[in-house]
Chains A and B, each alone.
Chain A
Amino acid sequence: MRAALIALFVRDLRLARRRAGESLLVVAFFVLALTLFPLGVGTSPDILARIGTGVIWVLALLAVLLGLERLFQPDLEDGSLEQLLLSPAPLELLVAVRCLVHWLGTGLVLALASPLLAILTHLPNEALWALPLSLLIGTPSLTLIGAIGAALLAGSGKGSVLAALLVLPLEIPVLIFGLNAAEALIMGLDARAALLFLGAFFLGSLALAPFAVAAALRLALE
């Protein structure tokens, strides 16, 4: 069983590397969308610094939602999903591995790119580590919760917009506490409560989402 999980991890990583352009597109969206804000609200550093944290977190959420379509749809179309179901390893664990690799190509990349965005929006220096930290803890939950929507709509041909609408309400708590944690850290306040909530969301979604996703995928293949 372990061999199957490792094999999936290695294969997905290899595929992600050969499609590195898609990860770069996520970052490109992240950066380009941010550059629209000075055009909309003006280039005054105070305004940008005030809205910067929130804008970056919201864009990270949108970027994760944008990538959801790639999570299961390609596998459903090329028959790989059936092979996953035929594996002796439980589908729930295979799903968790898939989400992990997907996160490496989206959430992790966004977290690593976020200091650049912090500089672009004139955020204080503390943001250079506070933003990546909050995104590192927060984005895995975004991916896991988003995976439920992606799996439910896989094969329905409804596309990613509906999946995004479906999971958006569930993602909002993560956004609130992630933003809260980042701002508290930037202002030097006590961020423990918000960080603990973020961590709790991560553990909760890690425990529940794979079961929901696996059930949805089994239904999609019926």
Chain B
Amino acid sequence: MLAARDLACRRGGRLIFADVAFSLAPGDALVVVGANGTGKTSLLRLLAGFGRPAAGQILWDGEDIALDFAGHRARTHFLGFADGLKALLTVGENLAFLAALLGNRDRAPPPAALAHFGLDALAQRPTRALSAGQRRRLALARLLAVPRPLWLLDEPGVALDREGRARLEEAIERHRAQGGVVAIATHGDVAVRDPLVLELGDRSACALP
């Protein structure tokens, strides 16, 4: 479904990683690990189609995403360090906006998405009044509000409590069971069942057996 071939990334003239290769089938999860500055975020941004790799290709169903970046981004969820929430909106408004922006046609899912992350009681609360962990839960809720096959999560477990992480892990497993793929950059706080591990920093490559 999602594959990378000989991927290299250059930032500020410095080669961050090279020869990254992997191949994910529906239901697979890629866990990207590595020390700070080894390019985990850069890799996820490349996979989201935000930029072009310095070398190599990213393939979706065998087709280079560079041929249709817009189409690729429209099937991708990207959750970065900045969570894309507006402090002045309420929890419900933030999620309803993101759901409409990202193309949720039926308007039902947002409440269920909020409920999954335990935010249903906070829907009317202004987002600026949330704690860091609650903000993160709200950011994660959009993954459920809009179904998209590719999830790219950059440190999704940051600021989450144990229950929040459990909810996230449950959402990830459900997404995989439905045939989606997920790539997570993490320092190990989020557990994923039989993942494919890609370690950046030592120029390693891995592929599905």
Using a CB–CB cutoff of 8 Å, the interface residues on chain A facing chain B are 1, 3-4, 6-8, 10-11, 14-15, 18-19, 77-80, 82-90, 218, 221-222
5 nearest CB pairs, A to B: A79-B82, A7-B100, A222-B51, A79-B84, A88-B74
User: What are 21 A-B interface contacts by the 8 Å CB criterion?
Assistant: A1-B103, A3-B105, A4-B101, A4-B102, A7-B97, A8-B101, A14-B93, A19-B88, A77-B82, A78-B85, A79-B81, A79-B82, A79-B83, A79-B84, A79-B85, A82-B82, A83-B98, A86-B76, A89-B103, A90-B70, A222-B52
B-side residues, CB < 8 A to A, are 48, 50-52, 70, 73-74, 76-78, 80-89, 93, 96-98, 100-103, 105
Return chain B residues, CB-CB under 8 Å to A6: 100
B103 touches A11 (CB 8 A): no
- Interface residue from B51, B77, B97, B105 paired with A11 (Cβ < 8 Å): B97
A1 contacts across to B, CB distance below 8 A: 103
- Chain B nearest CB from A221 CB (Å) reads 5
The answer, among B78, B86, B103, for a CB contact under 8 Å with A80, is B86
Residue ID in chain A nearest B107 by CB atoms: A3
In the complex with contacts A3-B103, A11-B97, A79-B80, A85-B50 CB distance below 8 A: yes
Question: In the complex, which residues of chain A have a beta carbon less than 8 angstroms from the beta carbon of B102?
Answer: 4, 83, 86-88
Shortest distance from the beta carbon of B58 to any chain A beta carbon, whole Å = 14
| Interchain nearest-CB distance for B51 vs A (Å) | 4
Instruction: Report the minimum CB–CB distance from A97 to chain B (whole Å).
Output: 11
Contact A88-B103, Cβ < 8 Å, known A14-B89, A221-B50? yes
By the criterion CB–CB under 8 Å, are A86 and B89 in contact?
no
Given contacts A3-B100, A86-B74, 4 further A-B contacts (CB under 8 A): A8-B101, A85-B73, A87-B74, A88-B103
- In the assembled complex, the Cα of A14 lies from the Cα of B89 at a distance in Å of 8
Whether B93 contacts A86 by the Cβ 8 Å rule is: no
Chain B residues near A218 (CB-CB < 8 A): 50
